[in-house]
Amino acid sequence: MVVTKKVFVFDDNRDILDLCTFILEDAGYEIKTSENANNIEEQVAAYMPDLIFMDNWLPDLGGIQATKALKNHPDLKHIPVIYFSANNDISSLADEAGADSYLSKPFDIAALEEIVKKHLS
């Protein structure tokens, strides 16, 4: 039996969440989305994804703080976090957050699928 890999996408833009859901479900992944990072540890622990996409601009707790919270949590720090943003300085933001990788917006479908494969294979 094939175990479906789970991806959790955090983004305050509903269109981005819908697009990621469409692309990744089509590629065979199970997807959960959230428009905020409130109680980030609880949200992630309840789903236990294999990979997380984290937007930089999230209401209340921003992407950097949310990523740091996950990376400081003993049960969640092993989950790869892909930082994604339209910010020009995304690589330094991803470094500051402690993310495992990053993806610039706007992204193309191939780039999204490629980074997911890289972290889930």
Q: What is the pLDDT of residues 59-80, one digit of tens each?
A: 888 999 999 999 999 999 999 9
What confidence score (pLDDT) does residue 66 get?
Answer: 97
**The pLDDT value given to residue 3:** 80
Q: Which two tokens stand for residue 67?
A: 């990523």
Residue 121: its pLDDT value, please?
Answer: 82
Model-wide pTM > 0.75: yes
Contact by Cβ (8 Å): 112, 103: yes
DSSP-assigned states of every residue in 40-106? HHHHHHHH--SEEEEES--SSS-HHHHHHHHHT-TTTTTS-EEEEES-TTHHHHHHHHT-SEEEESS
Q: Which fold has domain 6-120?
A: Rossmann fold (3.40.50)
**CA-CA distance, 58 to 78, in Å (whole number)?**
22
8 Å CB contact between 53 and 79: no
Listed by start position, the domains of the chain span: 6-120
